[in-house]
Amino acid sequence: MQDIATTILVCGGGIAGTVAAIAAARAGAGTLLVERWGFLGGSATAAAVGQFVGWETGSGRQVVHGIAEEIVARLVARGAADGHGHFVMSTGHRMDRVNYDPEALKLLLDEMAAEAGVRVLFHAGLMAVAAARRTIEAVTMLTKAGPLRILPRIVVDASGDLDLLARAGAAFLPLDPSESLQPATLMFRFGPIDFAAFEAIPPAERAALAREGVARGMLARAALHASRMPGTDDAWFNIGRVAVDATDPFALSAAEMEGRRQAFRAAAFLRALVPGCAAGRLVALAPQLGIRETRRVRGLYVLTAEDLRAGTMFEDAIAIGAYPIDIHPAQGAGLHFQTLGEDHAYAIPYRALVPDALDNALVAGRGISATHEAHAATRVMPLAMAIGQAAGTAAAMAAAGNLPPALVPAAALQTRLRAARAHLPG
């Protein structure tokens, strides 16, 4: 088996892992980014989510900047995103968003990774992890050429499902008996749409139509939620719902099939009954089911919904968020959506990125140490990018200082993040 050494290994090229790798490489660390598909972005591209939400407080104060904002600016400059805007959710809440083209995002992430000097390995699935004495010593990926053993100094697990940490023996946070994993959704692209007619549907009629779709068994979620593809008359629809534990391979396989079934039924409903959609058809399915929630690591701090509601500005804050607590229930067609206040923001502490059971690992993205409820706020992509930027920067600092990530001084990390235009308290 071939061995390669790297200072930083980022496992998972989702939006968080890609930003983490860019940040680590920009900080001067040799960085290898491994990804099971042939493109970067994770849910942002492979699940074709199509909109970044959660940049602002309710009163319009932007709290996520840094590499996340750089990505938006570069997408806007090439006509692949429509810039910061707003929409009204099925719950009636006004939400900020940036619609983007997932295909253009793939290309941009390739370019940004290359410019930063990240070494990217595609078509590489995690195979095995060797860990001893709280340290990950080797990570074996299955590639086209067979197993490849990577010897990293610091590992950032950004696989969303935290597959690497699971094999390294990390501890994870349990669900409470009253909680379930958030369901998955297979996004689909539908068009052409007469957007003037579609957007003119009054909110009460839109809600009644969505309920009608559920009553007829054609919609799994009582919403007509869509993000328009910039420059087209198509939209990506997020109106399916499949309850699944995506770490169970056979359950995930069945869920992919159920997601496709739901998407075609939902498209038939749109065409038959929804104003503006009569000429449309299902143009594309996202390459994979979008997974909202799986493992959440047990870190040095567990972020809670109470922390978010209180707006606790931790001393080791590495990112600021403002997105509400947004829980798609595993059963039923509704949404549990709790706003947190007009100009309300909260902080993510660095300790929530540090697994308590390992000395050379960090987490980036949706798997950070947060309760089920807190995760329902922190999972959105602007925050995943901000957390990724912090994780990559911290990994590079740990490697440069020959320190375990837990001992990276928070104040020095904050100074580095601010210099890279991240938004932090104070």
Q: What angle, rounded to 10 degrees, do the helices at 66-77 and 381-401 form?
A: 120
Rule CB under 6 A: which of 346-365 touch ligand FAD?
Answer: 365
d(CA 357, CA 172): 10
Closest CB 252 distance from ligand FAD, rounded Å: 11
Name the segment binding ligand FAD (CB under 6 A); options: 190-198, 228-236, 306-314, 379-387. 379-387
Residue 128 is inside which H or E element, if any? Answer: strand 125-132
44 binds ligand FAD (CB under 6 A): yes
Sign of the torsion formed by the C-alpha atoms of 216, 219, 222 and 227: negative
**DSSP SS3 for 383:** helix
**Per rule CB under 6 A, count of chain residues that contact ligand FAD:** 39
Q: Which of 384, 394, 395, 417 binds ligand FAD (CB under 6 A)?
A: 384
185 binds ligand FAD (CB under 6 A): yes
Name the segment binding ligand FAD (CB under 6 A); options: 28-36, 80-88, 263-271, 333-341. 28-36
51 binds ligand FAD (CB under 6 A): yes
Name the segment binding ligand FAD (CB under 6 A); options: 41-49, 60-68, 259-267, 308-316. 41-49
290 binds ligand FAD (CB under 6 A): yes
Name the residue among 5, 49, 56, 57 with its Cα closest to residue 31: 5
156 forms bridges with which residues in the sheet?
10, 362
Q: Which of 380, 391, 396, 413 binds ligand FAD (CB under 6 A)?
A: 380
Name the segment binding ligand FAD (CB under 6 A); options: 9-17, 210-218, 269-277, 332-340. 9-17
**N-terminal to C-terminal alpha carbon distance within the chain:** 50
7 vs 99 by CB, closer to ligand FAD: 99
Name the residue among 333, 58, 340, 292 with its Cα closest to residue 207: 333
54 binds ligand FAD (CB under 6 A): yes
CA distances from 264 to 74, 147, 188, 275, 286 (A): 34, 38, 9, 18, 12
Q: Which of 24, 53, 64, 148 binds ligand FAD (CB under 6 A)?
A: 53
Closest CB 56 distance from ligand FAD, rounded Å: 12
Question: What is the number of other CB atoms lying within 10 angstroms of the CB of residue 172?
Answer: 16
15 binds ligand FAD (CB under 6 A): yes
d(CA 420, CA 403): 22
Where does this chain bind ligand FAD (CB under 6 A)?
A: 12-17, 34-37, 42-44, 46-47, 49, 51-54, 125-126, 158-161, 163, 185, 187, 238, 290-292, 365-366, 379-381, 384
